[in-house]
Amino acid sequence: MSLLSQYGWNSHFEQHYTSFLNQGLEAGRVTAINAFNHTIISDNGSSTAMLAGALMNSKETWELPKVGDWVVFKPYDDQSIIIDVLPRQNAISRKLPGKSSQQQVIAANIDAALIIQGLDRDFNLQRLQRYLQQVYQCGIQPVIILNKQDLVDAPEAYRQQVLALGYNCPVLLTSALNHEQLGDWTSQYLQPGKTFALLGSSGVGKSTLFNALSGLAIQKEGSVSTFNNKGQHTTTARHLTMLPNGSMLIDSPGMREFGLTIDADEGVSFHHPQIEALSAKCRFRDCTHQQEPGCAVIDAVEEGTLPMTVYRNYLKLIREQYHYQASAMEKKRMEQQFGKLSRQINALRRKRKY
């Protein structure tokens, strides 16, 4: 098997690559990005590359190569030049904190997102749901990993709380420090040739898990027993590594905020298997399941077939989304007004000749 196919090359990329074949360009996958240097793996092994100026100038930030992207490049001995990015099959993105409508691509071409929470002070169902929403919105399957189970007396109780949210995805308990136990679930969930991205707040143990699984200390882990349980060696760069079993894992820096990416014109969406199934039976197509008559979701809560916890968490998240959507709309309105204002000023200037 060629190196490319071991790294996940498939007919989708092959097809988009054909138009570059006669230009003497090679295909490769971005495994790391440090400042302006990209590390790419291709059939000729690993090499460093930089972006072609034309690529940099013609693309938005989110379109430029990210870890996991497949690129075409002109090979040179010291530093190759990346000419283009092959269309992504998917990408994990998030809203940039503070800038309401900008999105940041975290990793591209992912088979599943490993959403990690620590069973210390990090455990938070609301935050977990925010991650789930975003991952589902990106069209990516989640696997939930509850780490640091060694720190609590009854880890299974936490797992039950997550299962009670009603998502039909795997929920695993683990301890990244206990290497023996990792084998139990990794052989089942981390398949060869597939790419997995670690997601979760700073200090949940992403790098510890990454290092344990890769058998290498590639990413520095936080030192033990800092007062807030957070690592001092917080990860600053993303990195894709092939694990001994042939699956690929991407470590990333922890995120302080994992906002949802919703455009002002886009509807509020909620990805939940039970609520989605019920909403097909609501009287109104655009039912928000809050007080509409003939709402199958509210009926199910009253009948006790939909757990109250699931419904309550739905309400919390949908309100958060409305709030975000409202601020995106406000921003758009301000931009339009500003455009109008500057046109008026320019017209005035022309009239007064100054």
Interface residues with Mg ion (CB under 5 A)?
Answer: 206-207, 235
Q: Which stretch binds Zn ion (CB under 5 A): 215-223, 296-304, 317-325, 326-334?
A: 296-304
- Minimum CB separation of residue 322 from ligand GTP in Å reads 30
Nearest to 111 by CA among 273, 5, 247: 247
Q: Which is nearer to ligand GTP, 240 or 310 (CB)?
A: 240
- Minimum CB separation of residue 296 from Zn ion in Å reads 6
Work out what residue 175 binds among ligand GTP, Mg ion, Zn ion, none; the CB cut-off runs from 5 to 8 Å by kind: ligand GTP
Nearest to 238 by CA among 92, 84, 85: 92
Q: Which is nearer to Zn ion, 92 or 282 (CB)?
A: 282
Nearest to 71 by CA among 83, 56, 89: 83
- The only residue of 112, 115, 146, 295 in contact with Zn ion, by rule CB under 5 A: 295
Integer CA distances (angstroms), 228 to 121, 195, 221, in order: 9, 31, 15
User: CB pairs under 8 A, 24+ apart, for 271-278?
Assistant: 271/132, 271/133, 271/136, 271/137, 272/166, 272/167, 272/310, 272/314, 273/166, 273/167, 273/168, 274/166, 274/306, 274/310, 275/306, 275/310, 275/314, 278/306
Q: How many residues contact ligand GTP, by CB under 6 A?
A: 24
**175 binds ligand GTP per the rule CB under 6 A:** yes
What is the distance between the alpha carbons of residues 317 and 311, in angstroms, rounded to a whole number? 10
Contact positions with ligand GTP (CB under 6 A) in 128-147: 147
Nearest to 113 by CA among 47, 194, 52, 234: 194
Q: Which is nearer to ligand GTP, 142 or 205 (CB)?
A: 205
**310 binds Zn ion per the rule CB under 5 A:** no
Contact positions with ligand GTP (CB under 6 A) in 253-272: 253-254
Q: Which is nearer to Zn ion, 72 or 297 (CB)?
A: 297
Q: Which is nearer to Mg ion, 8 or 203 (CB)?
A: 203
Instruction: Using CB atoms within 10 Å of the CB of residue 299, give its burial: 0 to 12 exposed, 13 to 18 middle, 19+ buried.
Output: middle
- The only residue of 171, 199, 242, 287 in contact with Zn ion, by rule CB under 5 A: 287
Work out what residue 282 binds among ligand GTP, Mg ion, Zn ion, none; the CB cut-off runs from 5 to 8 Å by kind: Zn ion
Work out what residue 208 binds among Mg ion, Zn ion, ligand GTP, none; the CB cut-off runs from 5 to 8 Å by kind: ligand GTP
**What residues line the site for ligand GTP (CB under 6 A)?**
147-148, 150-151, 175-177, 200, 202-208, 221-224, 231, 234-235, 253-254
